[in-house]
Structure 1
Amino acid sequence: MRPTDTLRRTQTLARSPEQVLDPADMGAARYTRHSFARSFLRTAAAQNWRVERERWDVDDAGRGEIVYRVVIGSHEVRFVVFSTTLIESDRTDRVIAKAWDVTGALIEGPLTESRANALRSQVPRQEEGRADDGTLIWTRANRSARFFDYVVDRLSEGTQPDITTMGDAAYILRSTAFYSNGKFGLADFDRLDAGHPLRLPYRAHMLTAWLLRELSYDLVEHCARARNPLSVRLSGDWRRYLGLGNATGLGMVPYVINHPHVLDAWCATRELPLAHALAQATTPDDRRIHTAGDLLERATHYFRERADLATAPFVPCGELSSQLEPLRAMLAEYIDSGTIGGEATTHAWRELHGQAATFGPEARNVMDSVIVEVHPQLDAEVEELLCCDQRQDVDPAQTCAQLRSVVRERYAWVRRFDFDDPDELTHFWFSSENNEEPRRGRRGIDPGENVEHPIDIARSVASLDRDLASTHDETPVAAFLVEHPWHRGIVARAQTLADVPYSEAHDNLLAEKFLPLNLQRFQLAMYGMDNYSPQSTDWLRVTLYSGAPRADDVAAGVDDDWIFTRKPRKDS
């Protein structure tokens, strides 16, 4: 189930699926050192990945073509960018957009003139274009209507941006899509061998997103210089603070349902390092204890600074900051006396984790991020979790009694849903022709029910359990499926996932009360995003890479601590 002996032992110490896959717990997730953005930059800095601006053919408004060459040991890739400017009425982040301020491709192999011409004609078309098989990623982004020109103005005037104007989730570009793995003819990731630096899932995406963020810095500084040769560059804290904007909607939700092995791997990358850390003995003079105290202090200020960020239905940042204060006091007490709450302990991490849980899953996830941050021992092993065999097969020889046992043990959580209650069947999910991505409709009201997506795991399990109950114990599954062929998919799923602990989100996606934001936030935390700001129950805004190392930092081997990055000070 896990690829190394250490991870298999650690799994026995980890939190239960009932805790990990609870919707409220998933909806409180925060990024950790094992989120994709963090692990990518840690690797890039350790290997001194080098980014060179190979081509910069851009006019005063930032329109033109750019090529970044990335040298990764004996490998190299290029990020080819086509930059333009749109009128505001044409600028939209929706999938159905037809034009963007920035389009780009991450490519392998030489960039010949004929290939450059092909990229020039195809990449800006996105969905209507076609890629060659040496292209790994297509992406697109838009300039921020609020921030791009403002930052250009400030720099051209010789000053830095004002943090009050920039707000809580500052960025210059916001990405709107990353395409890969065969779409539009893009390269299949299966062809990347074990030694390829981008072989891990999402590594090529994270590199592309990081280069988009680097581009955003280069573009605003270029446009500022075009206005005034005496303009300044972003400096001080601003040199790193600005991230990459992003917004995500309902299209993300079906992914973790349709890829249960991936969900298990993602949960394991969070839970196994945490279980390892909680098992470690501590002493008050442990260097990690003092580092955790510094991080928790920074987190307290980080959330306090974002007290005005719209987070409902999530816990407000100001309230979360207040919840962290007593945890800081407990940590300070332990450093001073070796006690927490007046009781001596040699397992401070476990005590802090438990105390944080009394405030709720949001505070616990912050505390856990801090605890995991100071325990890097499993970094390399955890990355091996991400490569999954996602096949699902029916075991026709299994008896119905054995299958019934699997269903009732592994899917006990389904019994809390009463599918005779119409509120548990309010919604259905489908692919929208108009929006070109998954959407949900109201059953009996909205069109599309005839093409409903089979992501109703809870309902399907309940139906399977009901039919198994009236079937003889020794009946083979093969015979059962001859009589009940509509159960084949859920039978294959239940059998295949019987020993995969974190494979099912414990929720009913059809229910009136289902909150998509919980699954969305979990996935965004896995990517490494933060500043979760819901705009409705269906979509939210986030930022990526705020505070992260820049290209010259990574080339110098710098991946310093950038969790809970504070806002720039007035004088930065």
Structure 2
Amino acid sequence: MTVDLRPPDEVMRLNRLGAAHPTRLSFLRALLRRVEGEGWSYRCAAWEIDAEGFGHAVLTVVAPANTYSLVAFSTPLADEMRTDRVIAEAWDTSYVLYDGIPDAAEIARLRANAPRQEAGRFTERDLVLARANKSVRLFAHVAESLANGHQPDADLLASVGYLMRTTAVYGNGKFGIADRDRIAGRAELTGPFRAEMLAVWLIRAFTLDLVEHVAAAQGGARATTLDPALRRSLGVGNSTGLGMAPFLVRHPLLVHRWFHARETALARVRGLAAAGPAEQAAFLAALEAMRQTVSRWHTEDPVQAPRVAVLADDLAALAAVARRLLSGATPWDALYRHACDGLSVEAQEAVVALVLEPHGALVDDLAETMQADEDSVFRIDGTMTVGALVARLAVHYGWVRRFDFSDPASEARFWYVSEEKLEPRLGERGAEDGADREQPLAVARDVSRLEAALLAAPHDEPVAAFLMRHPSFRYVVRRVQVAIAHPYAEVRDNLVAATMRPVDLLRAKLAFFGASRFDPRSDRWLRISLFADAPFPEDICRRETERMAS
């Protein structure tokens, strides 16, 4: 059976983007499959950490063609200086993903600069820059418990889910580190955010090694290590705010590739005629694992908390009918339709992730299609006529007509860049300064204005001539021309409306990273977990000495 991809008007709405779940196509999952499939090796190249947990470590992975090292620094931090805000100037830990294995001189250079983060100086050998703070009470509880020879409180671990929380993971040339072009041709890093995901994976390994090291120093012979199941349940936390939100608007071609890959995977699976015993078992196991994850998903957000409760009930209801649906014709389509007919949007998107899980052989290739050469669509087709562009707007941007921009509530906000931190921010129009420096992220409004201007222009006029008279529309014309061939390029909602929740944009992007346990702290920032329940380097990598001997 052939199943059509879900239409962009359904997929690219904020209410559904804000219910996204990680799938097997998520970037961290794709990275780990490559690490395991290519037989990467791993070793701790340096561990100069004192009894209190301060010092530096170097964790090294060797891919078929390149070697990468996480250089980690752990430093004392006064409680009053510990904050997740981007304006912080000191952190418990700081990191650089280094291209190769650093020698003593390079480690000294990084020690002088990495703890300063954006105030430091970096080179093209530095691929990713990151920092993180401890979940102080939980880190101390785990260290003390292990030092005394017993396991920490499992419920307390589950309620938080991580011992270290990153407050930034920078790549792509920021603050002087290597430009993306330097590593884009490397097979192991060609997928989106692969270098950043590699850094976070190694940060997780360092974090768990660090707490066990502190426990061993405190407890001596009576100390123990974390139970493997508890250890694996812990991820890396992350606090993410408005700085990430505009990404889904600024990279239309890349965003199309992400969503098109996921929707293609879903259509492939829904089109299968039957479910074999192995696939049924894998689905049921994934469903049970998701139910366990949701049971540990704690948030006090007044919007998300009720959604999590409903999701738990929906997954229980799905479990009650799953075996029956799996035994029938076109079972994966039946599961998805069952979700659409009676379950919440949160549960529908969970089912998207669940039905992909048993079908790696069918869909995993799509993870390698999610990168994009954005320069390839930068040039505007100036030969297109005004009439042709108006016709394309009607087809691809008809959704814009849902919004009445004469209503002040439809244009209540504006996006701008903070002069202090060079980070995106969201202002209240009419109540805050900065609207004169508004960023071009109000796509729906600007397309509406473009259409009005085009209707007043000669029908047969070339777009090039139109833009000579109206240069302010260049960016939106480029967007429209990209979306003509790439239907998932656009978030089909009003991103400056009074009711818009930026966390919906954040969750959509972070789900593609592979994040889970979304915990909004307001409508503008949230906390997540990365790599929870994922293998550690020692689980899927060979020891470097074994690789070198082979």
State the TM-score, normalized to the length of structure 1: 0.90
1:76 aligns with 2:67: yes
Pick aligned residue for 2:495 from 509, 530, 550? 509
How far the C-alpha of 1:217 sits from its partner, in A, is: 0.5
How far the C-alpha of 1:193 sits from its partner, in A, is: 5.9
Query: Per-residue displacement from partner, 1:304-345 (whole Å, max 9, x unpaired)?
Result: 344x5435413433321211223222222245xx4xxxxxx4
Amino acid of the structure 1 residue aligned with 2:471: P
Amino acid of the structure 1 residue aligned with 2:337: G
Query: Per-residue displacement from partner, 1:494-525 (whole Å, max 9, x unpaired)?
Result: 12331111000011111101111111110111
Supply the distance in 2 between the matched residues of 1:507 and 1:162 (Cα, whole angstroms).
44
Residue 256 of structure 2 is matched in structure 1 by: 264
1:525 aligns with 2:515: no
Equivalent residue runs for 1:278-317 within 5 Å: 278-283=270-275, 285-306=276-297, 309-314=299-304, 315-317=306-308
Residue 373 of structure 1 is matched in structure 2 by: 357
How far the C-alpha of 1:480 sits from its partner, in A, is: 1.4
Secondary structure (helix, strand or coil) at the match of 2:374 reads: coil
Supply the distance in 2 between the matched residues of 1:471 and 1:367 (Cα, whole angstroms).
47
Equivalent residue runs for 1:93-108 within 5 Å: 93-108=84-99
How far the C-alpha of 1:488 sits from its partner, in A, is: 1.5
How far the C-alpha of 1:235 sits from its partner, in A, is: 1.2
Unpaired segments ≥5 residues, structure 2: 544-550
1:355 aligns with 2:338: yes
Amino acid of the structure 2 residue aligned with 1:413: W
How far the C-alpha of 1:167 sits from its partner, in A, is: 4.2
Secondary structure (helix, strand or coil) at the match of 2:246 reads: helix
Residue 42 of structure 1 is matched in structure 2 by: 33
Deviates more, 1:241-250 or 1:104-113: 104-113
Distance change >3 Å, CA 316–CA 136, structure 1 → 2: same
Supply the distance in 1 between the matched residues of 2:292 and 2:174 (Cα, whole angstroms).
43
Residue 166 of structure 2 is matched in structure 1 by: 175
Supply the distance in 1 between the matched residues of 2:316 and 2:90 (Cα, whole angstroms).
47
Query: Per-residue displacement from partner, 1:42-90 (whole Å, max 9, x unpaired)?
Result: 2112223222111111111111111112111242111111111201111
Residue 367 of structure 2 is matched in structure 1 by: 382
Deviates more, 1:135-144 or 1:430-439: 430-439
Residue 386 of structure 2 is matched in structure 1 by: 400
Supply the distance in 2 between the matched residues of 1:154 and 1:100 (Cα, whole angstroms).
24
Residue 444 of structure 1 is matched in structure 2 by: 430
Q: Which has the higher helix share?
A: 2
State the TM-score, normalized to the length of structure 2: 0.94
Asked if the contact 1:160/1:235 (under 8 Å) is kept, the reply is yes
1:226 aligns with 2:226: no
Equivalent residue runs for 1:103-114 within 5 Å: 103-114=94-105
How far the C-alpha of 1:428 sits from its partner, in A, is: 0.8
Q: What number of residue pairs does the alignment pair up? A: 538
1:274 aligns with 2:266: yes
Residue 116 of structure 2 is matched in structure 1 by: 125
Supply the distance in 2 between the matched residues of 1:73 and 1:263 (Cα, whole angstroms).
29
Query: Per-residue displacement from partner, 1:458-514 (whole Å, max 9, x unpaired)?
Result: 111000001111222111112212222221211122123311110000111111011
Residue 31 of structure 1 is matched in structure 2 by: 22
Equivalent residue runs for 1:153-232 within 5 Å: 153-192=144-183, 194-229=185-220, 230-232=222-224
Secondary structure (helix, strand or coil) at the match of 2:266 reads: helix
Deviates more, 1:28-37 or 1:137-146: 137-146
Supply the distance in 2 between the matched residues of 1:232 and 1:311 (Cα, whole angstroms).
37
Secondary structure (helix, strand or coil) at the match of 2:113 reads: helix
1:326 aligns with 2:326: no
Distance change >3 Å, CA 111–CA 363, structure 1 → 2: same
Asked if the contact 1:78/1:106 (under 8 Å) is kept, the reply is yes
Amino acid of the structure 2 residue aligned with 1:366: A
Amino acid of the structure 2 residue aligned with 1:252: M
Secondary structure (helix, strand or coil) at the match of 2:127 reads: strand
1:482 aligns with 2:468: yes
Supply the distance in 1 between the matched residues of 2:79 and 2:188 (Cα, whole angstroms).
38
Deviates more, 1:220-229 or 1:315-324: 315-324
Asked if the contact 2:253/2:482 (under 8 Å) is kept, the reply is no
Residue 234 of structure 2 is matched in structure 1 by: 242
1:457 aligns with 2:449: no
How far the C-alpha of 1:38 sits from its partner, in A, is: 1.1
1:92 aligns with 2:76: no
Distance change >3 Å, CA 26–CA 59, structure 1 → 2: same
Asked if the contact 1:300/1:322 (under 8 Å) is kept, the reply is no
Amino acid of the structure 1 residue aligned with 2:371: L
Residue 418 of structure 1 is matched in structure 2 by: 404
Supply the distance in 2 between the matched residues of 1:398 and 1:74 (Cα, whole angstroms).
45
Amino acid of the structure 2 residue aligned with 1:346: A
Distance change >3 Å, CA 450–CA 372, structure 1 → 2: same
Secondary structure (helix, strand or coil) at the match of 1:265 reads: helix
